[in-house]
Amino acid sequence: MTRRSMLARALGVLVMIVFAIMLPTASVAAQDGESVHGTIRDPGGDPVKGIAISVTQDGDEVGDTSTDADGAWQVDLPEPGNYQVEVDLATLPDGVVPKVRGGEVREVTVDEGDAQPVIFPLVKEGEQEEPGSPATEQTEQPPAPPPGETEEPTPGETGVAPAAGASFFDRFMQTLANGIQYGAVIAISAIGLSLVFGTTRLINFAHGELVTFGAVIALFFHVGGPGLPLIAAGAIAVVAGGLLGGTLERGLWRPLRNRGTGRINLFIISIGLALFLRHLILVFQGSRPESYIDFNLQKTMDFGLFVITPRDLGIVLISLAVLFAVAFMLQRTRIGTAIRAVSDNRDLASSSGINVNQVIMVVWVLGGGLAALGGVLFGLAQVVHWEMGFKLLLLMFAGIILGGLGSAYGAMVGSFVVGIVSHISTLWFPAELQNAWALLVLIIVLLFRPQGILGRKERVG
């Protein structure tokens, strides 16, 4: 067995162990209680304070609250079930009404341990739509299914849920489209992790926090700070992610490598760094999920085989464009050739005149920027949360191991496989198990091809 194959299997086992540890943690988290929450903004996108919201179940009120200065609200629920969430129209600003007539009342289904987002889009008086209008926009919380019908489980955290009552083929194509989008987000986030491993052999468990960092920085500049458009805020987040990656390399990882610190020690340090950064983000960001303002409410576009919002289509197209740009850089530029040389044989690359430290610095900056971009896209697809990068980390590891350790192209292919398999599995199995099936595919592939899909065998010694 080759050295890289042994390392791939060892890392695969490690990922499974961490996943197994997370399962009881997730169960405990699910017992923390159920709630409904959201953020209300006026037609101009500014948060509205003081809007009264009540929650009832079978005619009995179970809770009420009002929006804070950020337009945010939350009501804790006594148990899972069906609830009616209502906005008091008398507390809305003058000249502002719900987007759809009767839209001040929403029916929601809350599962065990679920913190269910509910959104109330507002428009200026005179722009209100009638129920059932084709212009009605998609919201974070879809309306409850008609009596007698069961709602299809949303396959994962991104994309549009297949319509209830649709044929198996239609549901398959919709789920496949959602899986491609999910895989694109994983690929953008994972490619930097793969490049770092390829050039330094560092298993960086703190990479998920770079993803969260990018999403949080974009949220600050878009919602909390200057109020920039999301595109500008996202660009700032990418630059900030690159700077953070370069800072970690220059201030932490390079001095440790120069001291001859072993790989196991570096791995443990990366876990400690991940915990530090994650809870630092928690202190500054808080535990409440938040969402971006731009591209939040959109009409779906029907492509025949599937439907998708312009936002989700943009996520896929941006991801593919960036992935092709990275592939072009690796194949057609001098720095790309140097990165591949260092990844193949660091000592030989150094003896050939390549500045290895400079190449590694470029990889860290590039990896940090790509991770931040992945965080922005992931936050756009769902919500921004202080643990979002950690939840995506195992799937990133699964993608790079499945595709081939140290191979940027393998990380791309493996990530798409993980995203598609995790979503397709929801056609037959509960959505809660979607990540488990993706990791099962990882195990099967490693049993028959230890070097991964695009990895290559190496001799030991």
- The CATH code belonging to domain 168-448 is 1.10.3470
Residue 42: is its pLDDT beyond 70? yes
- pLDDT grade, residue 269 (50/70/90)? very high
Highest mean pLDDT among 106-120, 211-225, 356-370: 356-370
Q: Report whether 189 contacts 211 (CB < 8 A).
A: yes
pLDDT at 216: 94
34-124 is classed in which CATH architecture?
Sandwich (2.60)
> Burial code of 294-323, b = ≥16 C-beta within 10 A, e = fewer?
ebbebeeeeeeebbbbebbeebbebbeebb
Give percent of the chain with pLDDT exceeding 90.
Answer: 28
Mean pLDDT calculated for residue range 65-82: 85
Residue 455: is its pLDDT beyond 90? no
| Orientation angle between helical segments 356-381 and 168-200, nearest 10 degrees | 160
Sequence letter at residue 100: V
Q: For residue range 98-142, what is the model confidence (pLDDT) as tens digits?
A: 888 788 888 888 876 677 888 888 888 777 776 655 444 444 444
- Range with lowest mean pLDDT among 40-54, 148-162, 281-295: 148-162
Place of tokens 């756009």: 380
- Those residues whose C-beta lies under 8 Å from the C-beta of residue 64, and which sit 6 or more positions away, are 52, 53, 54, 55, 75
- pLDDT grade, residue 449 (50/70/90)? confident
Q: For residue range 150-168, what is the model confidence (pLDDT) as tens digits?
A: 333 333 446 665 655 567 8
Q: Residue 203: which of 212, 213, 193 has the closest Cα?
A: 193
Give percent of the chain with pLDDT exceeding 70.
Answer: 82
CA atoms within 13 A on the CB side of 238: 16
Domain-wise residue ranges, the chain: 34-124, 168-448
CA angle 64, 143, 433 (to 5 degrees): 95
- The average confidence (pLDDT) of the chain is 80
pLDDT: is 212 or 14 the higher one?
Answer: 212
Residue 33: is its pLDDT beyond 90? no
- Range with lowest mean pLDDT among 68-77, 122-131, 194-203, 335-344: 122-131
Sequence letter at residue 319: S
CA dist., res. 224 & res. 70, Å (int): 9
- pLDDT grade, residue 438 (50/70/90)? confident
Q: Report whether 19 contacts 394 (CB < 8 A).
A: yes
pLDDT at 118: 85
Sequence letter at residue 189: S
Residue 296: is its pLDDT beyond 80? no
pLDDT: is 213 or 92 the higher one?
Answer: 213
- pLDDT grade, residue 30 (50/70/90)? very low
Mean pLDDT calculated for residue range 369-398: 90
pLDDT at 25: 44
